[in-house]
Chains A and B, each alone.
Chain A
Amino acid sequence: LAKTTQPISMDSYEGQEVNITCSHNNIATNDYITWYQQFPSQGPRFIIQGYKTKVTNEVASLFIPADRKSSTLSLPRVSLSDTAVYYCLVGPWMDSSYKLIFGSGTRLLVRP
């Protein structure tokens, strides 16, 4: 499985756009890039997933360059409730035997 590297922590203020970058240099052809959000004492929650280029949903955008060796999760106009840990996962998502392995994640703190 592709190894991922993310910043350990990030600080932001309410209303700002937050971009969290994940490096995955050895991403494989069949690998997808998936981001999860986790609040304290809760299970992770799916945010967004992509394979290449840009994906946008009601919560976030995911930017993936052509070489796919990195990806950036963009959270527009964050609020206090976006304070959480964000995990970048890279793996063969369509493979039913794929085991989701979590890295250290990025702890985002949104300040008033």
Chain B
Amino acid sequence: GAVVSQHPSWVICKSGTSVKIECRSLDFQATTMFWYRQFPKQSLMLMATSNEGSKATYEQGVEKDKFLINHASLTLSTLTVTSAHPEDSSFYICSARDGARLNRLSNTEAFFGQGTRLTVV
């Protein structure tokens, strides 16, 4: 079945540095991917929608200059947390749907990556 893969699974970085998280759709093309953030014991919060070949759309309250999203190909979106601080420590998750199946009006689930645990020290 379709799989979405995230890398790395976990990362520890120093305060002030930047961290890049990759999200890949392994066997389908995704014109749109979604990035979520999840704090302990809380639900997933949608941060932004990543659109292939165009600018990402950010949810209200999410700083676009801090969370840089690049969707350069139909199978890869990246989230870069710039100048990370301890309050950015969280679990980041990406999601994608098979655009081709949607275009054929064929139902398709949304696949999620395994998540990336970011710890900023």
Binding site for B on A (CB under 8 A): 32, 34, 38, 41-46, 49, 87, 93-94, 96-97, 99-105
The answer to whether residues A49 and B109 also contact, given A42-B114, A87-B43 and a CB cut-off of 8 A, is yes
Least CB distance, A73 to chain B, in whole angstroms: 15
CB <8 Å contact, A44 and B44: yes
CB <8 Å contact, B91 and A41: yes
CB <8 Å contact, A100 and B115: no
**What residues of chain A lie closer than 8 Å to B110, measured between beta carbons?**
46, 100
Asked whether B97 is an interface residue with its Cβ less than 8 Å from the other chain, the reply is: yes
The answer to whether residues A46 and B102 also contact, given A41-B91, A96-B97, A101-B46 and a CB cut-off of 8 A, is no
- Find the B residue at minimum CB distance from A101: B46
Q: Per DSSP, are chain B's interface residues mostly helix, strand or loop, or mixed?
A: strand
Least CB distance, B71 to chain A, in whole angstroms: 15
CB <8 Å contact, A43 and B114: yes
CB <8 Å contact, B43 and A102: yes
**What residues of chain A lie closer than 8 Å to B93, measured between beta carbons?**
43-44
Least CB distance, A59 to chain B, in whole angstroms: 13
Question: Chain B, 1-37, contact with A by CB distance < 8 Å: what is the 0/1 string?
Answer: 0001010000000000000000000000001101010
**What residues of chain A lie closer than 8 Å to B102, measured between beta carbons?**
94, 96
Asked whether B67 is an interface residue with its Cβ less than 8 Å from the other chain, the reply is: no
